[in-house]
Amino acid sequence: MYLFQNEKSYGDRLLAEDDCGNKVSYEDLDSFAEELYGHTRGKTLIFILCENTIGSLMGYLGCLKTGVVPLMLEKQINQELLDRLINEYHPTFLYVPRDSLLKAKECEIVWETKGYYLCQRREKQSTSLYGELALLLTTSGSTGSPKLVRQSKGNMEANAESICNYLNIHEKERPVTTLPMNYTYGLSIINSHVKKGAALLLTTKSMVEQPFWDFVREKRATSFGGVPYTYQVLKRIGFLEMNLPDLKIMTQAGGKLSLNLHKEFASYAKDRGKQFVVMYGQTEATARMGYLPASKAIERCGSMGIAIPGGRFWLEDDKNEEITEPEIQGELVYQGENVALGYACCLDDLIKEDEWKGVLHTGDMAKRDSDGYYYITGRKKRFIKLFGNRVNLDEVERLLKDQFEGVDFACAGRDDSLKIYTDMRQEGLLKILDYFYEMTGINSRAVQIQHLDKIPKNEAGKTLYSEID
């Protein structure tokens, strides 16, 4: 298949190694895919509960090789949210790790492999899938929205090829996993390196744990990726003083990095002979749309860069007319082969063809300098990013209102800081936070809650966010 047309020539080359010493080769992937096909018989829908392990990786790559369409979900997904998605999309299979087997309700285990179980659902409902559909990803973190992004084979191939191009990825690279496999940025690292026959270093350890860094040093990791919060953590744990001679490239996406952190890591990279590459992307563009060349990391501090190879940016005003003058703010629009097919909100949407035709209105406001470099200035839509995960503020309100009947909510905030306003009495606030964390897994450090006697509304009953935030 498209990402793996060379894998037979890669042969016994290492595909992945985990922090327990387990290894798999590209040949092993080929054998795994054949066996997976024997159980699934080709194009059907599967939900994968992901973690950064060999079993999860092989399940994902095996699906891409055999035409099975996976929806990538985090392993820790709340059961109620998982059930909602199952009831909406009716997958034929669930692919889950051993310690999450209880989440595969009403299923029959048909295959056990590498710590994972392939579970066939007893419900028999035929699913029609568009021929080019290859992958489904959630759009808004863990708020339980049924809204998915539909990505095609061509989208994934184009983006992987572009990333390989501008990062100069080759077979000797050894990226270490620092991002979830169900997150578009984490997947793009996997896709682009597998395309070149490189070896992935898989770990479920966190960057704040010493075993993570022991693994990085022992296996001579050459790169990692991170969201803004990752770089906040790295500074706090003393990364800038670490001696990591094999580390060559650090990439950043998932939200705008503060100017101070951008400068510090760009300077660190320059002083140590490494590369620091800031990037811009969305799930709707299969991962990445823009990058700031490492050579410009200091000079253009604060910029998200230029369009990736094969892509094009422009800005539009509120009349949807292109802005041609520099330093004027407008909505950022992108065109490229990596723009996804469109959204899915229900099972019937999975048969839809390409709705977006290669053009994406990003919802981000930006300006362009006279040399063609873009700078994100704000958001047109009501979403923020919490530790790299996009969270739709309207969907958070819906989630809370559905649970706490008769209670009003308004959500606001900025990246890495969600503010929940509610008219629930003070003694009930902790209950709201506990429920929110239980359902989404979003770190409580990113959330503030405040009681208001009344959520301000206009005459039409719409929330006046300008009066509370």
- Judge if 327 and 390 occupy the same domain: no
How many domains would you assign to the chain? 2
Say yes or no: 411 and 363 in one domain: no
Cα diameter, the chain = 68
Taking only the tens place, the pLDDT of each residue in 60-89 is 999 999 999 999 999 999 999 999 999 999
Whether residue 18 contacts residue 151, with contact meaning beta carbons closer than 8 Å, is answered with no
Q: At what angle do helices 429-440 and 393-403 cross, to 10 degrees?
A: 120
Write the CB contacts of 362 (distance below 8 Å, at least 6 apart in sequence): 282, 284, 289, 331, 332, 333, 334
Same domain, 188 and 214: yes
In a domain, 256, yes or no: yes
Could you give the CA distance from residue 430 to residue 107 in angstroms, rounded to a whole number? Answer: 36
Residue 1 has pLDDT above 50, yes or no: no
67 in any annotated domain: no
DSSP code at position 220? T
SS (H, E, C) 408-449: CEEEEEECCEEEEEECCCHHHHHHHHHHHHHHHCCCHHHEEE
Position 406 scores a pLDDT of 82
Q: Which residues of 56-84 are buried (b: 16+ CB within 10 A; e: fewer)?
A: bbbbbbbbbbbbbbbbbbbbebbeebbee
58 falls within a domain: no
* Mean pLDDT, all residues of the chain: 93
Range of the domain at 222: 153-334+359-381
Is the CB of residue 152 less than 8 Å from the CB of residue 345?
Answer: no
Q: How far apart are the C-alpha atoms of 20 and 180, rounded to whole Å? A: 18
How many other CB atoms are found less than 10 A from the CB of residue 450? 12
Q: Which of 348, 381, 414 is the last residue of a domain?
A: 381
436 or 142, which is more confident: 436
Burial class (CB in 10 A: 0-12, 13-18, 19+), 336: buried
More confident residue, 202 or 395: 202
**Same domain? 330 vs 396:** no
Q: DSSP letter at 175?
A: B
Q: What is the mean pLDDT of residues 122-136?
A: 91
Q: Looking at the structure, tell me whether residues 423 and 285 fall in a common domain.
A: no
Q: Are 7 and 197 in contact (CB under 8 A)?
A: yes
Residue 6 has pLDDT above 80, yes or no: no
pLDDT for 291 beyond 60? yes
Rounded Cα distance, 119 and 110, in Å: 6
- Over residues 238-261, mean pLDDT: 93
Say yes or no: 256 and 325 in one domain.
Answer: yes
pLDDT, position 142: 54
pLDDT at 146: 86
Of 35 and 127, the structure prediction assigns the larger pLDDT to 35
Instruction: Identify whether 457 is part of a domain.
Output: yes
> Is residue 140 predicted with pLDDT exceeding 70?
no
- Asked if residue 291 is part of any domain, the answer here is yes
Kindly report the CATH number assigned to the domain that includes residue 173: 3.40.50.12780
Q: Are residues 303 and 224 in the same domain?
A: yes
Residue 165 in domain: yes
**Whether residue 302 is found in the same domain as residue 412:** no
Q: In this structure, is residue 350 part of a structural domain?
A: no
Structure tokens at 68: 């099975």
Residues 319 and 442 in one domain: no
| Angle ∠(53,58,63) on CA atoms, nearest 5 | 135
Which of 334-348, 373-387, 390-404, 445-459 shows the highest mean pLDDT? 334-348
If one counts every other C-beta atom within 10 angstroms of the C-beta of residue 273, the result is 8
